[in-house]
């Protein structure tokens, strides 16, 4: 299998090249040259398969023996060793809880798989590998945990000052060791821009080996497709039509879902559920794609004004606007609407949801129409990661999980950084 750039200006790459480069030399994102449906026998056995078993089969199918089976199996077993339960909320709505990993966010799935894949491909490399990751909150902690103390790899995390939750900041700034956090004067889009510019800078790339840990990197978004199959297997209702509601910021999660559909997963619709940074819902509504500066919201992981993975989504639909809109619905909520949904969900079902999952739930409430439909929303982070907002909205105190309390007791270590690429480049050159 080869991997082509969405900008189509460079030669296709091998899996190793795509993973270790992160971003193609023409500023495009890597995509598999072929996405064929998985065999029907795979779907029949899904209800009895573990997440690790699903990951191994899907990755084996996509990677086409580019990684020895025993190595790939071990990577999957180590990466997906935590629960991802499908929780029934009502007769037609389920929550896929993706927050049971070490940092209590869905990004543990992709980050753990990616770190092990990179470590395998980087074996024997005499040059240190520098992993750059822009984060609007949860990517930073998941990447830090996934790569912590991995030999031969250093991680640089860029996050926007004052625009992540206190717990998120403590998670991504307290690891130390081979993990460094840069506190950027700007918004998430500035952090993302700095990372992309670094990959395209010839002088930097001659001096150091750079790669990405954002969903820019296909090693991050491909494993996220695995839990769509896992959810389908847990549901085990083949006669129902499934709608996935996906809280979306950079759109790696939705891209992974659409890829699962292209691989044969029977999905009726996807919903791109956003906060007021609604660039993709606006595109669905108007046919116009207008990136713009992001606006801070209480669903901060989705505060993205120029989604990285939009070109991948376009590729998956052969750049057809009508095909895109046929499969994907758009939805957005304001902060006040998010809070109202959080209260409603707790009052009616005694289910505590974080701000991102709340948007996903509200989208299903709007779009579910037929009794033959089942809606699954992705609950992307533990509510405790947004403790202040959840407590204020619901009006009561709840205990933090022990593995979050640990981070609050540690000392924040972050290096201040301007949004200037020259300053960021100078910092990297000093390492």
Residue among 102, 115, 177 at smallest CA distance from 141: 102
Sign for the CA dihedral angle at 127, 194, 384, 333 comes to negative
Residue among 318, 408, 345, 334 at smallest CA distance from 95: 345
Q: Which of 21, 107, 163, 196 is catalytic?
A: 107
End-to-end CA distance of the chain: 35
Nearest-angstrom CA–CA distance, 75 and 57: 12
* Annotated catalytic residue 107: yes
Strands annotated E in 143-268: 153-160, 179-184, 209-212, 241-247
Cβ contact 104:385 at 8 Å? yes
Nearest-angstrom CA–CA distance, 53 and 73: 8
- The DSSP code for 242 is E
Q: Which two tokens stand for residue 324?
A: 């895109």
Using DSSP bridges, classify how beta strands 3-5 and 30-32 pair: parallel, antiparallel or unpaired. antiparallel
3-state SS of 192-218 is: HHHHHHHHHCHHHHHHCEEEECCCCCH
Upper half-sphere CA count for residue 221 (Cβ side, 13 Å): 28
Sign for the CA dihedral angle at 56, 57, 62, 67 comes to positive
Nearest-angstrom CA–CA distance, 347 and 360: 17
3-class SS at 245? strand
Nearest-angstrom CA–CA distance, 30 and 19: 9
Residue whose structure tokens are 């993973």: 19
Active-site residue numbers? Answer: 107
């Amino acid at each position: 299998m080869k991997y082509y750039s969405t900008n189509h200006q460079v030669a296709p790459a091998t899996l190793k090249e795509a993973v270790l480069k992160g971003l193609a030399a023409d500023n495009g994102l890597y995509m598999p040259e072929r996405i064929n449906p998985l065999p029907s026998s795979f779907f029949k056995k899904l209800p009895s398969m573990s997440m690790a078993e699903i990951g191994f089969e899907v990755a084996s199918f996509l990677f086409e023996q580019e990684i020895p089976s025993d190595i790939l199996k071990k990577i999957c077993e180590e990466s997906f060793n935590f629960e991802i339960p499908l929780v029934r909320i009502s007769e037609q709505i389920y929550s896929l809880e993706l927050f049971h990993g070490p940092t209590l966010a869905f990004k543990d799935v992709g980050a753990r798989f990616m770190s092990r894949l990179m470590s395998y491909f980087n074996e024997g490399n005499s040059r240190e590998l520098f992993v750059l990751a822009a984060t609007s909150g949860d990517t930073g902690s998941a990447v830090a945990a996934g790569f912590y103390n991995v030999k031969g790899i250093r991680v640089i995390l860029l996050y926007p000052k004052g625009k992540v939750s206190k717990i998120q900041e403590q998670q991504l700034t307290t690891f130390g060791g081979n993990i460094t956090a840069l506190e950027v004067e700007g918004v998430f889009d500035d952090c993302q821009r700095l990372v992309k510019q670094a990959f395209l800078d010839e002088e930097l790339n001659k001096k150091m080996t750079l790669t990405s840990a954002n969903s820019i990197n296909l090693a991050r978004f491909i494993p996220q497709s695995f839990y769509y199959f896992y959810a389908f297997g847990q549901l085990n209702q083949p006669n129902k039509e499934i709608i996935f509601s996906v809280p979306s910021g950079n759109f790696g999660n939705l891209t992974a879902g659409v890829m699962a559909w292209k691989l044969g997963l029977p999905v009726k619709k996807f919903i791109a559920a956003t906060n007021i940074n609604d660039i993709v819902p606006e595109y669905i509504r108007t046919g116009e794609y207008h990136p713009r500066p992001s606006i801070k919201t209480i669903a901060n992981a989705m505060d993205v004004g120029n989604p990285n993975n939009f070109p991948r989504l376009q590729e998956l639909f052969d750049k057809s606007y009508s095909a895109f809109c046929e499969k994907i619905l758009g939805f957005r909520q304001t902060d006040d609407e998010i809070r109202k949904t959080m209260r409603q969900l707790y009052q009616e079902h005694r289910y505590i949801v974080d701000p991102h999952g709340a948007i996903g739930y509200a989208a299903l409430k709007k779009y579910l129409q037929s009794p033959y439909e089942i809606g699954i929303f992705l609950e992307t982070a533990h509510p405790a990661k947004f403790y202040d907002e959840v407590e204020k909205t619901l009006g009561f105190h709840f205990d933090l999980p022990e593995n979050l309390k640990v981070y609050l007791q540690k000392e924040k270590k972050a290096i201040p950084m301007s949004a200037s690429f020259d300053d960021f480049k100078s910092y990297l050159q000093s390492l």
